[in-house]
Amino acid sequence: MPSTSIDRTALGDLARGAAFLGSGGGGDPYYGQLLGEAEIARSGPFTLIDAAALPDDALVAPCGWIGAPTVSLEKLPAGDEAVNGLRRLEAIMGRRIDALMPIEIGGSNGLAPLLAAARLGVPVLDADGMGRAFPESQMAILNIHGLSACPSIVTAADGTLAVIETPDNLAHERVARSLSVALGGIAHMVEYPLSGANAKAHAIPASVSAAIAIGAAMRRAREDSEDPFAALYAALRASGLYAHAGSLFDGKIVDLERQTEGGFSIGTVVIDAFDSDRRMTVRFQNENLLAREGDVVRAMTPDLITVMDLETADSITTERLKYGQRVRIVAAAAPAALRTERALRFVGPRAFGLDLDYRPVEQLNGWTA
Amino acid sequence: MPSTSIDRTALGDLARGAAFLGSGGGGDPYYGQLLGEAEIARSGPFTLIDAAALPDDALVAPCGWIGAPTVSLEKLPAGDEAVNGLRRLEAIMGRRIDALMPIEIGGSNGLAPLLAAARLGVPVLDADGMGRAFPESQMAILNIHGLSACPSIVTAADGTLAVIETPDNLAHERVARSLSVALGGIAHMVEYPLSGANAKAHAIPASVSAAIAIGAAMRRAREDSEDPFAALYAALRASGLYAHAGSLFDGKIVDLERQTEGGFSIGTVVIDAFDSDRRMTVRFQNENLLAREGDVVRAMTPDLITVMDLETADSITTERLKYGQRVRIVAAAAPAALRTERALRFVGPRAFGLDLDYRPVEQLNGWTA
């Protein structure tokens, strides 16, 4: 079937693209990139396959890490969690997994399945379950489209494994979240096992290759001493997934409130403009949810909001935010599948307790395609 | 194999005995008694079998409810949780369960397996995992003796089922506890699946029949207008499990602090004597842990401490304690298996964060056998 190799360069591009698409969440991809480079050096490049080429009766295993990304900075995986969980899915389903898929393309979870796939000897599907990163499992397009999260398998570094089965995807998220807390703040999760047909019909298509293309555009802009932000916006628009993109605000981080709460990093970051009294505040729950300039909303979930280093154009995950950082706040339109009336009930502002009606970022900022 | 029938009268006796052995915890057995009476009316008495008669290769499933007993007052089981969890154990083990066993004889969990056993068409073993009730799963004698808690299955009223596998029984308790909280505060758990040989070697023997005998002695004392407390103490001593028993204090509840915290009911009850300025405080975590008169310790875990109604001799679980109740504080020596040096590391005062060396209740009170 049609496949692409992910070599060392493409892996770096994927990490860079996934960091942006994380919208502040999904964990910093840097550690996953290091692990991936070591794996490539050992066994060669990773294999990415087109969803279109997948047989309808294939078994696709979406997977990734669940927990507060602040914890993942301090607690490294033991190495066997992912494979243990995936092997258990195979035992439950009584068959082999044909491909892995990132449950979310954003952040470290955009890369996480590569290593596990290499260990299992299967490819990674060029698709994901969120088109970005979101803090909660039921925010996956797979839930929005009515698929079941179960059987789902949570595994931890201490060898603990839990199989979850429930008809209620919200109960699944609640149970998985509590497990991640009980297991030290972070755990691996296999969830929403998919047939090939369902992967094709419901996953966000071509998002892994989109992330690679976005990262590659930024890398090349830097190599050619061109503007990496302009390259980012152009690559996002060219992806076919993120139709609008642009800058919201430049400034310095002057205040930061952040706490780990119920398995999430929750807080607000305040950015002051360099040469005026303009101020932007960004509220986050693992991911950035809402960017406001004074009282004016400039972007809101499910549109992507990423805090980036003004000089290097590196994406800064919410757990890496620091007082004094000079940053640009960048936004991009969410994939269309996340903007339907039904999807907004799961990933729109009210799903996060924000008393706001969703308005697309391009309307809020007068961007035209 | 040698078996005993548990009819309506014996069920009431079991509820009464288990309520005392709960040491304040394990949940009020009254609701389980009502369910059990309905089941007996429908299908006849329950069957209790001697552990000694069990084949060595039998499969015994210890089970019960996990969660804060305060929640169980408000949230009733849906009815299928226990059977769903037990059927899953059978699927995992690839064989039928031969007998159920209460994970703890104390409180509602002393009765809980009867109903599930009737549905499965298997007997209940005359043994349990704690010889009383304890708040945490790793306090079972089965853990103290080095057996594994897993595979363990947690099920909830909403249809959620989780299989837990871990080499670490403390991780098992942590995971199960967090599940019970995520699932609404209470869940059914199958744990420490045992071979017949291990049930015979490690479970607390004959504790179900002991609870029935204790309850029967109190019932008969009431029927004959004799002192139910004297009958209780005599029955405890005659059981062969609880070698010493007696009264610690009479008085009125004048203060009560209680909160549901991390899945437990935690608090302190203060009892003032009727006709002096003597005062007893009892500290609890689901179960009563420590009874002090002023600064003098009168009883401590793992010895049993139960608050009883002074007039009716009903045992009062910690979630039923109320200001103004006129009570007698009763204590009994724990089964010998819970008093070994090794056992005290799991169920002695320091296991509950109390900075005290264990001293047997009979020494603290000058009781002689």
Interchain CB contact of B166 with A (< 8 Å): yes
Amino acid at B145: H
Interchain CB contact of A92 with B (< 8 Å): no
Whether the per-residue pLDDT at A293 is higher than 50: the answer is yes
Whether the per-residue pLDDT at B288 is higher than 60: the answer is yes
Output the CA torsion B293→B340→B205→B332 (10° steps).
Answer: -10
Structure confidence at residue B73 as a pLDDT band (50, 70, 90): very low
Q: Specify whether the CB–CB gap between A165 and B162 falls below 8 A.
A: yes
Whether the per-residue pLDDT at A204 is higher than 70: the answer is yes
CA geometry: angle at A167 spanning B38 and A80, to 5°?
115
CA geometry: angle at A97 spanning A93 and A99, to 5°?
145
Q: Which two tokens stand for residue A217?
A: 């555009």
Please list the residues that pair with A251 across neighbouring strands.
A327
CB contact under 8 A, B161 and A164: yes
Nearest to A162 among B156, B159, B175 (CB): B175
**Which pLDDT belongs to residue A104?**
96
Q: What is the mean pLDDT of residues A30-51?
A: 92
Dihedral sign, CA of A210, A215, A221, A224? Answer: negative
CB contact under 8 A, A168 and B182: no
Q: What is the mean pLDDT of residues B105-129?
A: 95
Cα(A36)–Cα(A69) distance, rounded to whole angstroms? Answer: 19
Interchain CB contact of A168 with B (< 8 Å): yes
Interchain CB contact of A159 with B (< 8 Å): yes
Summarised one tens digit per residue, pLDDT across range A87-141 is 999 999 999 999 999 999 999 999 999 999 999 999 999 999 999 999 899 999 9
Integer Rg of chain B from CA: 19
Q: Specify whether the CB–CB gap between A258 and A266 falls below 8 A.
A: yes
Whether the per-residue pLDDT at A73 is higher than 50: the answer is no
ipTM of the shown complex: 0.77
pTM exceeding 0.90: no
Least confident range of A35-44, A196-205, A289-298, B249-258: A35-44
Paired sense of beta strands A46-49 and A124-125, if any? parallel
Q: What is the mean pLDDT of residues A267-293?
A: 96
Q: Which two tokens stand for residue A277?
A: 């009294």
Summarised one tens digit per residue, pLDDT across range B133-155 is 998 999 999 999 999 999 999 99
Amino acid at A209: S
Mention every residue, 6+ apart, whose C-beta is less than 8 A from residue A276: none
Average pLDDT, chain B: 93
**Which pLDDT belongs to residue B68?**
67
Cα(B28)–Cα(B317) distance, rounded to whole angstroms? Answer: 6
Least confident range of A1-5, A41-45, A204-208, B362-366: A1-5
Q: What is the mean pLDDT of residues B278-291?
A: 96
Cα(A25)–Cα(A282) distance, rounded to whole angstroms? Answer: 13
Q: Specify whether the CB–CB gap between B172 and B152 falls below 8 A.
A: yes
Nearest to A179 among B160, B167, B178 (CB): B178
Structure confidence at residue A185 as a pLDDT band (50, 70, 90): confident
Q: Given the structure tokens 């009125």, which residue do they identify?
A: B252
CB contact under 8 A, B159 and A177: no
Q: Specify whether the CB–CB gap between A37 and A30 falls below 8 A.
A: no
Residue A155, min C-alpha distance to chain B (Å):
9
Helices (H) and strands (E) in chain B — how many of each? Answer: 12, 19
**Complete DSSP assignment for B58-103:** -EEEEEEEEE-HHHHTT----SSHHHHHHHHHHHHHTS---EEEES
**Complete DSSP assignment for B267-327:** EEEEEE-SSSS-EEEEEEESEEEEEEETTEEEEETTSEEEEEETTT--EE-GGG--TT-EE
Q: What is the mean pLDDT of residues B1-5?
A: 81
